[in-house]
Amino acid sequence: MKNYKIRLQYDGTRYDGWQKQGNTKNTIQGKLEEVCSRMLGEAVEIHGSGRTDAGVHAAGQVANFKSERAMKPEEMLRYLNAYLPQDIAVLSVEEAPERFHSRLLATSKEYRYRVWNSPIPNVFERRFVYQDARSFSTEAMQKAAAYCLGEHDFQSFSSVKRSKKSTVRTLRHLDVERMGDEIRFTLEGNGFLYNMVRILVGTLLEVGEGRRQPESIPWIFEQKNREVAGFTAPPQGLTLMQVHYKV
């Protein structure tokens, strides 16, 4: 049995997210499984490093799949890019150790969230940014971001229903930069709960707008209640940039 690791990019605009759900074939995972199964002449199951929501993009998603068939990685790369839709591209294919698992062995992930902050719409990047022309204080957002770093129970910043699973995660970076008319959030952590990046960004934007104080962040953590955090920033601004593994 061979184990293949792939890195891929996608424009998530027209998909119902990464994960196959019931009959929904319109997912990244579904498209990949369809083309991989055809390529290998057997039913292939793709494991992603994590789900991305409907409308979210990836510049460096990682997945793996196992197959009885030996096929050259370069040949797979060519086949996949020839038959996948034009909004999904495979960057690399390599043979991985049998025990490699893209989700279980991921040590950290990096996300980027882009806000186009101008009264003039951005026609070229519009699928990859959230457009909001209001005034935001970068300084206030940076101050609030500092309170989010480190190990916390992120329950308040997640849409997951209360469950027995731990909601403690470690956020190593949450950078807020203004680059011309763009506000760019870069997040890196050991794991992210459902909607966590989008709720963190939504909350920071409310701080930037002046509707919340940076100092209110510790209180939000303490409440362990989704209701007290900010809005869920829309999906199109979010891109999964990289997934890291122990070497």
Q: Which residues are catalytic?
A: 53
- Smallest gap, in angstroms, from Cβ of residue 130 to a second copy? 13
CB-wise, 69 or 78, nearer to a second copy?
78
Q: How many CA atoms lie within 13 A of 98 on its CB side?
A: 2
Q: How far apart are CA 109 and CA 171, in angstroms?
A: 10
Q: How far apart are CA 201 and CA 61, in angstroms?
A: 21
- Smallest gap, in angstroms, from Cβ of residue 50 to a second copy? 19
Contacts for 234 with CB less than 8 Å, ≥ 6 apart:
55, 130, 198
Rg (CA), the chain: 19
Strand boundaries in 104-234, DSSP class E? 106-116, 130-131, 150-153, 168-179, 182-189
- Smallest gap, in angstroms, from Cβ of residue 11 to a second copy? 5
CB-wise, 22 or 119, nearer to a second copy?
119
- Smallest gap, in angstroms, from Cβ of residue 87 to a second copy? 5
- 8 A C-beta contact, residue 80 and residue 211: no
CB-wise, 4 or 154, nearer to a second copy?
4
Q: How far apart are CA 77 and CA 236, in angstroms?
A: 27
CB-wise, 120 or 179, nearer to a second copy?
120
- 8 A C-beta contact, residue 13 and residue 87: yes
Residues lying near a second copy in the complex (CB under 8 A) are found at 9-11, 57, 59, 77-78, 81, 86-91, 119-124, 126, 128
Q: Is residue 194 marked as binding?
A: no
Q: How far apart are CA 233 and CA 124, in angstroms?
A: 20
